[in-house]
Structure 1
Amino acid sequence: MTSDYPLLGSPLKLGPRTARNRIWMTAHATLLVKDHLFTQEHIAYYTARARGGAAVITMEAMAAHPTTQPYKGKAFAFDPRMVPEYQKLADAVHEHGTLLLSQPWHRGRQTNGVTNGLPVWAPSSIPCGVYREMPHVMTGKDIAEIIEGYRLSAKYSREGGLDGVEVHGMSHGYLLNQFLSPATNTRSDAYGGTLEDRMRIVVEILDACRSELGPDMIMGMRINSDDGHEGGLRPDDWAELAARFEATGLIDYLSMSHGTYIDRMKIYPTSPEEHGFQLDATETVRKAVSLPVVGVGRIVDPDEAEGYLRDGKLDFVGMARQLISDADWGEKALSGRRKQIRPCVGANWCMSTIFAHAAIGCIHNPSAGRELELNETDIGETPARKRVAVVGGGPAGLRAAWTLARRGHAVTLFEARERLGGQVRWWAKADSRRELVGIVDFLEARLRETDAEIRLGTRAEADTLKDFDAAVIAAGSTGLAHGWTMLRPEKWSGPALPGAELPHVMPYGRMLETDPDIPARALVFDTMGGRQGAVTAEYLARRGAVVEFVTQLGQPSPDLASSRDWGKVHGMLRRLGVRFHVDRELTEITPDSVTLRDLYTGETETLQGIGMVVMVQGGTANDALFHALDGKMELHLVGDAMAPRRVNDAIKEGELAARQI
């Protein structure tokens, strides 16, 4: 432990056990589950975080009953088959002195019955605003089943050798939150009405779990500190609830969070968001209890974490996304290597992978969820040192060069521009994306710690690379501005849309890179539906332009649903005055106007006074050098030079290529 973070590195009593420091990995979905059981990938995932310094790990939320199954990749905590799974996990994690907890939970109305074919259960017939499925109003028999499911979950946790159980469902608007909140509980029986009656199911679950765990295991609760919506439970309400739960004598700690599915950005907000944004409410609840409190809320920096501990806002620093980004956060912080921490940049790519029903991932940690195949500390020294050229200093090239150098190759990186970072630096010019620069700042800093040679302002040609043994081509892509959408594939490679060749028409990447003068009125034409259009519109609007956002899609930037922040982004753009035109395509551009066509009615309209047209249409891979060298040396094509896609693809491919040479 370093003296820099004396509180973060200090042990603390946690019920009948002691946590070796104050770093707590909070629960989050991984989709590494198979057949409702944990896997070898789980063991590797959690063990990496235990080895990396987390003193306590709460595993991902596990179903306490068959009616809570939002997707097939969900573990069943009530299934006796979990016992040997827990034993394998506990053995691996305990080797590093880390405490391991299960988290049985039920989503209540915040799910649907598509996966399991069962009705959604809830205390009252009030549907969730996200899933919009009318729930079955739980009967007394149903409530007894849920309590029994939690009891079995505790029983199997004990038999599996875990250190304890974190009873979940009170936070994030899940089933027990729905019982507790008067906004979602309109019952008139013993489980509704007064606060005591609304608490009844929770107390009965706690009692059932403690009866299985006994006094020698940890039992905590995950609760909210603020529901964050009108009619919901606010900090003072949760403070009273917390005091009442503590008074039962059944629990050893409280883990705090925020929000419900009415506004999921209060749970896991994307950048920008104030770091520690939940902790004022957490502190309100903490003052009402004497139990240890776990706090969360975009905590990514150990200086911040130590400050929150010093200020008494929390007793344990809870992190999920930061520990996805860097499994070794704790070890780095406590051993004087804070500057080597890979920061969570708030991109929510981890959420996007889950949305796609893929295993957990990180926008710039390719080993997250893939520890068995891409262990970041076991990259394998090369048996034969080679001279390797890396062409391109964006995220793909930086990652490839870093891993190649660490493996023992003689690396030269060529970057045509005067600065490393590629398109990520351009994106970070938008206020909402400024944290993204942490991706390339981290990679550049790691690369400069090696003996790799970096040649800025140098465009690599075939002759430049003639003396190298191998090359990684990571030259990126060039933005398109021809004006056609995917609805006209026959014209995609043909003549440009009339007016697309005009000087005030440009791809969004060029606009972000070159910082041209911004006119009074600009138009963004987005055919991709990702974040590019939103970033472009924000950048223009914040610099004073009235922005017309045109897309052939049914809504602007629909892909943001996967990161859960489309509402946050749309609201931000609307407040900036951006005007949306959906279901439209461009048919003509003139020096000061554009003509739009309604895709479904054929009607046209002309927008006047447009001083700039920015195209968001994807790009063309810069692969000419690869083809010029093909067959002459060992070659690897990665990132946008392979096909213009996402940052995580570029970094992963750079890493894989570097391991193959």
Structure 2
Amino acid sequence: VAGRAAVGCRITVEESAHEHGIDRTEIEAVIDELGELPDLWDFVPGSWEDDSITSRFSAEAHQEEWVRGLKALTSKPVVGVGRFTSPDTMVRMVRQGILDFIGAARPSIADPFLPRKIEEGRPEDIRECIGCNICVSGDFTMSPIRCTQNPSMGEEWRRNWHPETYRPRHANERVLVVGAGPAGLEAAMALGKRGYEVVLVEKSRVLGGRVAAEARLPGLAEWIRVADYRLGQISKLDNVEHYLESDMTAEEALSYGFDHIAVATGSTWRRDGVGRWHTRPDTMPIAAMPILTPDDVMAGTRPEGTRVAVFDDDHYYMGGALAELLRAAGYEVALMTPDAVVSAWTVNTMEQHRIQARLIEAGIELHTSTAVSAVLDTELRTQCTFTGQASHIAADAVLLVTARLPEDTLFQDLLARHEEWPDQGLRTVRAIGDALAPSTIAAAVWEGRRYAEELEAPTDNSDATPYHRELTALP
């Protein structure tokens, strides 16, 4: 292909996962021998799990230690990756001669206009990747790609969503958004950019909702970017106001004369054990042992005693992160999960093995393939999820990480007063995000964007769809 196309070569320069894998000495010999053959080198460590490690376990530019110095072995340009989100870090990698080009897959998913914003000197407008790997999960679950930061990802053609531009408003209307979590913030920002007059109210003293709480858990600090980006954008919009410590009631919401109300009041964790294993409240008896939920722990509540049992029937990041938090606070922690591994769903984000290793190294007692069948006064009755064999685990308190319930009281109250809407000028009320259906942060952000995009969509039960479909026809 000489003269017709450039040939790039990606090569693994460190196989840390394998005891007898390629090491630095060997890769230097390989590059010394083959260095001038391709037109471009792409140096990466290990497997995809090493290459696309989550922010919970590594900061940006984590691959620097493996690629530093290799560029000197070839005259051909070198590109590298490492979830670069800071323009300063990107510039440093080039100026120090570590790389010639910056590769940014996940950061470009989060913000396809990343290069332009750097070029135009607008780093504050960059939608920084949070490193959660929800984008990767689509590959493992055989589902459309999603991005926590960029809800337009995968919807550019299907719904005509653009990552930067928004359709102008269809009418001079006012929207009340109740709840400043990921769904509420996204809805308020997108509506504001469409030109609507928006009032965002939040009952607490902090904007961000669940993101503000979960970003304080071990390893999840970068997740606060979900709130930070949207708050930064909202601060530039004169047509969006926000108010803290405003616990809205249906009476108040109706009295202000808004045309539309979006209820984004989030969800709460259940304390009755209902989840994937126990599907009804009456199947797991609870006696006198103190019960905690993730909401309690994230709000600062700590149990009395020295030993806490964690029942993780959620299977994502929450159970492991809270177990790690409690262990760091000095508690003995025993974690039970019905699955064969801890945090089983994180296989889809390529971090399950790291989570399990971290919990083991922290001294947390793991009981996999184990479900809690009853909470007694001073112990838990458990059972093997394969054989049903019963056992007991002593504890001073139990943290139930099971399922969540929509915090939809305001939504239901407004629906109950539907007959009053016309007199108050109210046209629509919708629950969005976790207030509609508790899910991932990415799903909540997506729901906020959808609400803003479809505000004027018809609300009847017609067969019309607000998105394009690929339809095949037989000849």
TM normalised by structure 1 equals 0.64
Contact conserved, 2:94 with 2:101, CA < 8 A, in 1? yes
Q: Which amino acid aligns with 1:653?
A: E
Shift of 1:393: 0.7
State the partner residue of 1:274.
59
**Alignment partner for residue 521 of structure 1, among 307, 318, 321?**
307
State the partner residue of 1:305.
90
**Is the alpha carbon distance of 1:555 and 1:224 closer, same or farther for their aligned partners in structure 2, counting shifts above 3 Å?**
closer
* In 1, Cα distance between equivalents of 2:437 and 2:265: 11
Bigger drift between 597-606 and 421-430 goes to 597-606
Alignment of 1:45-64 (within 5 A): none
State the partner residue of 2:273.
483
Contact conserved, 2:433 with 2:444, CA < 8 A, in 1? yes
Contact conserved, 1:387 with 1:410, CA < 8 A, in 2? yes
**Alignment partner for residue 251 of structure 2, among 458, 463, 467?**
463
State the partner residue of 1:178.
none
Contact conserved, 2:284 with 2:372, CA < 8 A, in 1? no
**Is the alpha carbon distance of 1:312 and 1:471 closer, same or farther for their aligned partners in structure 2, counting shifts above 3 Å?**
same
Q: Which amino acid aligns with 1:529?
A: H
Tell me whether 1:409 sits opposite 2:196 in the alignment. Answer: yes
Alignment of 1:355-366 (within 5 A): 355-366=140-151
Shift of 1:298: 2.4
Q: Which amino acid aligns with 1:417?
A: S
3-state SS of 2:450 partner: helix
Q: For residues 5-51 of structure 1, what are the alpha-carbon distances to aligned partners after superposition, in whole Å with 9 as ceiling and x for unaligned?
A: xxxxxxxxxxxxxxxxxxxxxxxxxxxxxxxxxxxxxxxxxxxxxxx
Alignment of 1:454-603 (within 5 A): 454-466=242-254, 467-489=257-279, 491-492=280-281, 494=282, 497-499=285-287, 502=289, 504-516=290-302, 519-603=305-389
Contact conserved, 2:277 with 2:313, CA < 8 A, in 1? no
Shift of 1:593: 2.6
Alignment of 1:336-351 (within 5 A): 336-351=121-136
State the partner residue of 1:251.
38
State the partner residue of 2:440.
646
* In 1, Cα distance between equivalents of 2:164 and 2:389: 59
* Larger radius of gyration between Structure 1 and Structure 2: 1
**Is the alpha carbon distance of 1:574 and 1:623 closer, same or farther for their aligned partners in structure 2, counting shifts above 3 Å?**
same
Q: Which amino acid aligns with 1:280?
A: E
Contact conserved, 1:518 with 1:545, CA < 8 A, in 2? no
Q: For residues 64-112 of structure 1, what are the alpha-carbon distances to aligned partners after superposition, in whole Å with 9 as ceiling and x for unaligned?
A: xxxxxxxxxxxxxxxxxxxxxxxxxxxxxxxxxxxxxxxxxxxxxxxxx
State the partner residue of 1:383.
170
Q: Which amino acid aligns with 1:573?
A: L
State the partner residue of 2:139.
354
Q: Which amino acid aligns with 2:452?
A: A
Tell me whether 1:225 sits opposite 2:13 in the alignment. Answer: yes
* In 1, Cα distance between equivalents of 2:111 and 2:84: 13
Contact conserved, 1:364 with 1:647, CA < 8 A, in 2? no
State the partner residue of 1:605.
391
**Alignment partner for residue 399 of structure 2, among 586, 609, 614?**
614
* In 1, Cα distance between equivalents of 2:277 and 2:353: 26
**Is the alpha carbon distance of 1:485 and 1:339 closer, same or farther for their aligned partners in structure 2, counting shifts above 3 Å?**
closer
Q: Which amino acid aligns with 1:420?
A: L
Contact conserved, 1:526 with 1:550, CA < 8 A, in 2? yes
Bigger drift between 546-555 and 341-350 goes to 546-555
Alignment of 1:391-430 (within 5 A): 391-430=178-217
Contact conserved, 2:78 with 2:100, CA < 8 A, in 1? yes
**Is the alpha carbon distance of 1:368 and 1:615 closer, same or farther for their aligned partners in structure 2, counting shifts above 3 Å?**
same
3-state SS of 2:297 partner: helix
3-state SS of 2:7 partner: strand
Alignment of 1:90-169 (within 5 A): none
Bigger drift between 578-587 and 463-472 goes to 578-587
* In 2, Cα distance between equivalents of 1:409 and 1:224: 50
3-state SS of 2:381 partner: strand
Shift of 1:429: 1.6
**Alignment partner for residue 112 of structure 2, among 327, 347, 351?**
327
State the partner residue of 1:35.
none
* In 1, Cα distance between equivalents of 2:386 and 2:82: 44
* In 1, Cα distance between equivalents of 2:311 and 2:413: 34
State the partner residue of 1:76.
none
Contact conserved, 1:286 with 1:293, CA < 8 A, in 2? yes
Contact conserved, 1:548 with 1:579, CA < 8 A, in 2? yes
* In 2, Cα distance between equivalents of 1:366 and 1:413: 20
* In 2, Cα distance between equivalents of 1:288 and 1:251: 13
State the partner residue of 2:450.
656
Bigger drift between 322-331 and 424-433 goes to 424-433
Q: Which amino acid aligns with 1:427?
A: E
3-state SS of 1:588 partner: strand
State the partner residue of 1:33.
none
Shift of 1:516: 3.0
Tell me whether 1:440 sits opposite 2:227 in the alignment. Answer: yes
State the partner residue of 1:450.
237
**Is the alpha carbon distance of 1:230 and 1:586 closer, same or farther for their aligned partners in structure 2, counting shifts above 3 Å?**
closer
* In 2, Cα distance between equivalents of 1:599 and 1:219: 52
Q: Which amino acid aligns with 2:87?
A: P
Q: For residues 469-492 of structure 1, what are the alpha-carbon distances to aligned partners after superposition, in whole Å with 9 as ceiling and x for unaligned?
A: 101111101110102454443x33
* In 1, Cα distance between equivalents of 2:38 and 2:219: 40
* In 1, Cα distance between equivalents of 2:228 and 2:137: 23
Structure 1's consecutive aligned runs of 4 or more residues displaced over 4 angstroms after TM superposition are none
Higher relative contact order (CA 8 A, sep 6+): 2
Q: Which amino acid aligns with 2:51?
A: I
* In 2, Cα distance between equivalents of 1:225 and 1:641: 47
Tell me whether 1:368 sits opposite 2:153 in the alignment. Answer: yes
Q: Which amino acid aligns with 1:534?
A: G
* In 1, Cα distance between equivalents of 2:347 and 2:161: 29
Tell me whether 1:291 sits opposite 2:85 in the alignment. Answer: no
Tell me whether 1:241 sits opposite 2:35 in the alignment. Answer: no
Contact conserved, 1:391 with 1:415, CA < 8 A, in 2? yes
Contact conserved, 1:479 with 1:510, CA < 8 A, in 2? no
Shift of 1:284: 2.7
Contact conserved, 2:275 with 2:403, CA < 8 A, in 1? no
Contact conserved, 1:325 with 1:362, CA < 8 A, in 2? yes
Contact conserved, 1:485 with 1:585, CA < 8 A, in 2? no
3-state SS of 1:657 partner: helix
3-state SS of 1:380 partner: coil
Shift of 1:216: 4.5
Q: Which amino acid aligns with 2:54?
A: T
**Is the alpha carbon distance of 1:413 and 1:234 closer, same or farther for their aligned partners in structure 2, counting shifts above 3 Å?**
same
Tell me whether 1:318 sits opposite 2:103 in the alignment. Answer: yes
State the partner residue of 2:473.
none
Shift of 1:496: 6.5
* In 2, Cα distance between equivalents of 1:232 and 1:388: 58
Between the aligned residues of both structures, percent identity stands at: 27
3-state SS of 2:73 partner: coil
TM normalised by structure 2 equals 0.88
Q: Which amino acid aligns with 2:19?
A: E
Q: For residues 161-217 of structure 1, what are the alpha-carbon distances to aligned partners after superposition, in whole Å with 9 as ceiling and x for unaligned?
A: xxxxxxxxxxxxxxxxxxxxxxxxxxxxxxxxxxxxxxxxxxxxxxxxxxxx23243
